[in-house]
Amino acid sequence: MEKKQAIFLANCIEGSKSPAYDINKLEVINGCLPKFHQWTNGKPTIAAFEITRPDNDTGYYFVFIDWHRNDNYYLVIYAHDHSTTCAEIRQIQEIDGVPHLIWTYQPLKRDGKNQQRKAYFKQMFGATTIQIKLPSSALDLDVFLGQIFKLCQNRIKADRIVEVFEIE
């Protein structure tokens, strides 16, 4: 996404007074997010937030970052324990004149079972490509966050499906 789009989205999150989510802004120093994760060190960062949903005790980190240092910004969503990313979203597409984040489930595990994961994701959630309408203001943020949380939870379920069932 363009830097201005990332700034707008970060400002919507920062300006939200959400009743459903606790939003804590992380400190960005000199345009970087220090001591967060080895994959973020030294990379241009617009903003970062810890966002939790107290009613079901889930949470993620939202990082707006120039992931590849090429002026193409991503919304990278980290698991609450910092162990991995749940989604790396960079594509914005206009659908019926409204901007949407576009994310595609593409598992990259090295166990030979990625096709089964994709099939499960598609069967359970309708498609492997997800479209999430961008909020037009901080007032629309709860719906947006709900969809992002659902995307992350669905991705985690699909990644772990081979642990639940004996899939050969």
Q: Where are the beta strands (DSSP E) in the chain?
A: 22-25, 45-53, 58-65, 74-79, 85-89, 91-95, 98-104, 129-133
User: How far, in Å, CA of 27 to CA of 105, rounded?
Assistant: 30
Would you state the pLDDT for residue 163?
A: 79
Per-residue pLDDT tens digits for 38-76: 889 899 999 999 999 999 989 999 999 998 999 999 999
Task: Give the residue numbers spanning the domain of 138.
Answer: 3-164
User: How far, in Å, CA of 168 to CA of 63, rounded?
Assistant: 36
Average pLDDT over residues 67-90: 94
Q: Which residue has the tokens 């994959």?
A: 39
**165 pLDDT exceeds 80?**
no
Per-residue pLDDT tens digits for 112-159: 999 999 999 999 889 999 999 999 888 889 999 999 999 999 999 999
Q: What is the mean pLDDT of the chain?
A: 93
pLDDT band at 168 (very low <50, low <70, confident <90, very high): low
Q: How many domains does the structure of the chain reveal?
A: 1
User: How far, in Å, CA of 19 to CA of 22, rounded?
Assistant: 8
The model's pTM is 0.92
Would you state the pLDDT for residue 32?
A: 94
The tokens describing 11, both together, are: 């400002």
Is the separation of the CB atoms in 63 and 51 below 8 Å?
no
Average pLDDT over residues 102-111: 94
